[in-house]
Amino acid sequence: MLARQRQEKIAQLVRQHGSIRVSALTERFDVSDMTIRRDLEALERRGRLDKVHGGAVTPDHGGTAEPAFTEKRPLQTAAKEAIAAEAARLVAPGSAVGLTAGTTTWTLARHLLDVPDITVVTNSVRVAQTLHTHRRQKQTVVLTGGVRTPSDALVGPVAVTALRTLHVDVLFMGVHGMAALTGFTTPNPQEAETNRAMCRSARRIVVLADHTKWNTTGTAAIVALETADMLITDSGVDGHCREVLARGVGDLTVVEPTRLSQRAAPAHSHPGPTESVRT
């Protein structure tokens, strides 16, 4: 097989699966690691894929762009409501909960307004403001401090130092993207570092990510898929995605979004049916 033909097939495989490992390609085409790496370099120069450690992923030209909170808020609202409602079921009265920044975790915060006696640790200005302004139960909100990002996250050394002394029962983490090779990612390296600190503070890690996050790759890796004890996503994920995620995360839960208007649903709204896949 000519190099150009092999490269075209590699590009098709990456486009089909979202990511692929060098080891899988060497076995498939019966060539050396060095040959495959040269193929990946050639394809990356032509913009057909992005090389990552150990393989390649679909090209993400927006990996360094960090959208503002107001830009993300109106996107995938029905999916976010269903994901947040399912996540809220995991929060018991009297527990300590961590919430990273993001529009899905902000949606979850609204679902937690009626849960009594919880302590919420967050690096999200929006989450803290929502819980402080609208709370209807006795709750404690701890805002980490740090440098504010376009997504209204507080990040950097101040946030990381604060998190070293804090511990939560469960962390709910929003992400910019997720993929088999790159794991959970964000465009902001400081936010990735802060989120890793939040992960270290938690007994259990639950990632909240709608289906559009699949095969999106931000510049900075947060943690591998295997680090998540649970991932809650929506039914927009395709079959291949479900297989990969079910192998990676501890517990995959897929929710069915209800038909919602573009306005935010009330905090007590009930999600659609769920599907849980345990590995």
135 shares its domain with 179: yes
130 shares its domain with 210: yes
The pTM of the full predicted model, rounded to 2 decimals, is: 0.75
15 shares its domain with 128: no
Average pLDDT over residues 16-20: 78
* pLDDT 10s digits, 178-193: 998 899 999 999 999 9
74 shares its domain with 53: no
Domain housing 38: 3-57
User: Domain count of the chain?
Assistant: 2
Q: DSSP secondary structure string, the chain?
A: --HHHHHHHHHHHHHHHSEEEHHHHHHHHT--HHHHHHHHHHHHHTTS-EEETTEEE---TTTT----HHHHTTTTHHHHHHHHHHHHTTPPTT-EEEE-SSHHHHHHHHHTTT-TT-EEEESBHHHHHHHHHH--S--EEEE---EEPTTSBEESHHHHHHHTT--BSEEEEE-SEEETTTEEEES-HHHHHHHHHHHHTBSSEEEE--GGGBT---SEEEE-GGG-SEEEEETTS-HHHHHHHHHHSSEEEEE------SSPPPTTPPP--EEEEE-
202 shares its domain with 247: yes
**pLDDT for 84 beyond 50:** yes
